[in-house]
Structure 1
């Protein structure tokens, strides 16, 4: 078979070392101890076909309406577990995909059992362990998770909880999360002219943070991951403040079309995320006013969701 010489082929490995992972690996308390290699973004794995497939699959991983109703009546315990999982993932330097996947596993397990186990933190740790094994080359260890929970459970109990979670979910653990949609939605933003690498990186970081906040907030429990991702990106675009109303309206329509929802629904969830963000910032200022005097002085009335004013 003769190869067409006009076709340009490269067999070089284009994986690059993730600078953030390398920095985290050198930081005190980081448990993975090694940097991660990431493949460059491949545009052929994006586009409407991939988004349509994700939209079709995401419904399969939604918790039941009964569970959502019960949790929203008394959300404190579930939100406490989700926030603890977020803290553990941050302290362990986990990949950004670990936390949303671990919360999805926890919600699906509780949705199937409708009962909290004797050791709720063991459940959250078991979900983190499974999510880390699915998404990371060097997964977080069971000993590290036990230490994060101040040894309220043993490694043997964590291993048993891992088996219970897998059996309950029938090993169907590769759930769709908002972080699965964000790269594809960002590619759409890039196609519409915002091709600056620094801007896209900032949008991705802010959107990830807002989506993680939604995972901790039970008010967003019944929202599809695609809608949470689109609303988070829409809020990040608003917060950067580098676009006019017309550009924001066009991007909002594009995001609503991508996640197959009405523009009014997208705007409603975007407003909900901004409101939740204001609540979070206000709560942080109230809890530590002496430590955040500068933030109080520099806070600008009327623009509490300006993403440039928030330290992520």
Structure 2
């Protein structure tokens, strides 16, 4: 039997990309056969399994400062260590899930946060962040031995179920589904959406929202900030993440308000133009005061 070699290739087509978050690592090419609505439905089916408990969410809402400061520190560490963009949201998800079970912070909260970064990096990257780098970023608030012990505690508490679902898991599939509806550059949209989703991960007000809703609202805001005119795919995104358009619109407005607060912009007047209210989305998360 003859085969057509031109229609199928078994080569691993990795490419060397110089991304700011990827550090020039080899990355596999995007495979359209494992993207789109079929994958979105599977992610939607398991995302609630990795959600923090309602009791934990209510406790954090009473005193959100400590979690927000810890999440900001985790973002800073991930940036300093050149981690992949998927490491930060997964590490915060691991921390929230751990605290949902224990409902008490360890003696060194930074050690817990660093252990979650370490686990997330091992899951997401070929060259994971080192324990020495994490201890250095924490100014040796803990030692490598303490970090390894905390890593074992986190894994045991979560029963090794660590591959959680985050907003960054949905973004490429949402973008793939919207490819025919928007003419924006997908790489730029992904970068802006990643920035907004990372901001939501830090912000306690989005703690109870599902990853799919955060991803859809972040992408919706990114599209508004990048398009020249009044352009919206809210209804399509709402259908993709199985929610009502009014709910997605509400979270999109929450993101826009949070973004203005981070950038130090004054609140928009009620009668202002839509473009003024949704002024340009920053391309680099370091431009936002997390």
Normalised by the length of structure 1, the TM-score is 0.85
In our comparison, the structure showing a higher alpha carbon Rg is 1
Superposed, which structure 2 residues align to 1:1-312 within 5 Å? 2-5=1-4, 8-20=7-19, 25=23, 35-194=24-183, 199-242=185-228, 244-245=229-230, 247-248=231-232, 251-282=233-264, 303=276, 305-307=278-280, 312=285
Change (3 A) 1:209 1:308: closer
User: Where does structure 1 lack aligned partners over 5 or more consecutive residues?
Assistant: 26-34, 286-299
Aligned length: 279
Q: Determine helix, strand or coil for the equivalent of 1:94.
A: coil
- Is 1:109–1:165's contact at 8 Å kept on the other side of the alignment? yes
Distance in 1 (alpha carbons) for counterparts of 2:111 and 2:71: 12
Distance in 1 (alpha carbons) for counterparts of 2:72 and 2:282: 23
Distance in 2 (alpha carbons) for counterparts of 1:126 and 1:189: 36
- Is 1:103–1:215's contact at 8 Å kept on the other side of the alignment? yes
Report the structure, 1 or 2, having the larger helix content. Answer: 1
Q: What is the RMSD of the two structures over their aligned residues, measured on CA atoms? A: 2.1
- Is 2:111–2:147's contact at 8 Å kept on the other side of the alignment? yes
Distance in 2 (alpha carbons) for counterparts of 1:124 and 1:308: 28
Change (3 A) 1:6 1:123: closer
Q: CA deviation at 1:8?
A: 1.3
Distance in 1 (alpha carbons) for counterparts of 2:87 and 2:278: 26
Distance in 2 (alpha carbons) for counterparts of 1:152 and 1:224: 33
Question: Which residue matches 1:288?
Answer: none
Question: Which residue matches 2:270?
Answer: none
Q: CA deviation at 1:14?
A: 1.4
- Is 1:100–1:177's contact at 8 Å kept on the other side of the alignment? yes
Normalised by the length of structure 2, the TM-score is 0.91
Q: CA deviation at 1:7?
A: 6.8
Change (3 A) 1:114 1:239: same
Distance in 2 (alpha carbons) for counterparts of 1:311 and 1:304: 20
Distance in 2 (alpha carbons) for counterparts of 1:174 and 1:162: 15
User: Where does structure 2 lack aligned partners over 5 or more consecutive residues?
Assistant: 267-272, 286-290
Question: Which residue matches 1:293?
Answer: none
Distance in 2 (alpha carbons) for counterparts of 1:193 and 1:83: 32
1:131-184 deviation digits (Å, cap 9, x = unpaired): 000000000000000000000111000000000000000000000000000000
